[in-house]
Amino acid sequence: MWIREERDITADIRPTYLLMALNVLIYFILAIKGGSFFSLSMDMLGTYGQFNLMVRHYGWWWQILTAMFVHVNLPHLALNMFWLYILGRRSEYLFGRKYFLLVYLLSGVSGNLMGLALPLYTVSAGASGAIFGIFGANIMVERAYSGSRLSSTLMYAFLILMINSLVGVNVLAHLGGLIFGILFGYLYGERIMRRYFYRNEWYWWH
């Protein structure tokens, strides 16, 4: 009986909320460490973000992973956490929590790998590549159901295109994450949609 309750408690934990909390926590730790609250110092970004020079010439490959949890400033963090909240909860429901985390992390890594094609002294950071990945996977999964929720998908696409037009955005990281997400959705979209329709409708609200 005790084991059953323990599993129920664990089941209530959403990976989306954990990822959001982790991103926010890391931002404030680095902000305090760097002595700048509204935006991170270049020292913090160059150490924990993705500094192409350090990755390509000095083997700091761990930055490909850490960079997706580092954000340049508070507006950057807020925007990414907004999209993670919107897309993450739906992705958890469609893909399952394990596959959601897999798509999120691998999309972020894919985006950062593509970002290495930018000049050596480029410093980039943020969860955008991972978020574009779950966005791409959502598009393909909904496409598997003959255009289900097409209007909301087009709205997301329009807003994301606007974001990509902003100055200083790492478009290659976005593209790399998006490509991985689309490939995942293409390969597993039909299977995911079958899973979606076999689940109880009330589960979405819990």
Nearest to 135 by CA among 166, 161, 115: 161
Cα–Cα distance for residue pair 67/55, rounded to 1 Å: 11
Catalytic status, residue 71: no
Tell me if residue 174 is catalytic: yes
Q: In 10 A of CB 2, how many CB atoms?
A: 5
Residue found under tokens 């807020």? 78
Cα 196 to Cα 142, 165, 192: the distances in Å are 11, 34, 6
Of the candidates 41, 110, 174, 206, the residue annotated as catalytic is 174
d(CA 119, CA 117): 7
Which string of DSSP letters, residue by residue, matches 93-127?
Answer: HHH-HHHHHHHHHHHHHHHHHHHTTS-TT-EE--S
Res 201: pLDDT: 46
- pLDDT for the residue 187: 86
The catalytic residue among 57, 128, 152, 165 is 128
Domain boundaries, the chain: 2-205
Among all chains, which residue has been given the structure tokens 């990414």? 80
Provide the residue-wise pLDDT of the chain in tens; the chain has 206 residues: 444 444 444 456 789 999 999 999 999 999 999 998 899 999 999 999 999 999 999 999 999 999 999 999 999 999 899 999 989 998 888 888 988 999 999 999 999 999 999 999 999 999 999 999 999 898 887 776 655 555 555 556 656 655 555 556 788 998 899 999 999 988 887 776 666 555 544 344 33
Angle, in degrees to the nearest 10, between helices 128-143 and 171-198: 40
Q: Which superfamily is assigned to 2-205 in CATH?
A: Rhomboid-like (1.20.1540.10)
How confident is the model at residue 95, as a pLDDT?
Answer: 83
| Separation in Å, CA 15 to CA 10, 43, 88, 198 | 11, 30, 8, 22
Burial (CB count within 10 angstroms: exposed 0-12, middle 13-18, buried 19+), residue 122: middle
Both tokens of 20, joined, read 């959001």
Taking the C-alpha atoms of residue 172 and residue 194, their distance in angstroms, rounded to an integer, is 33
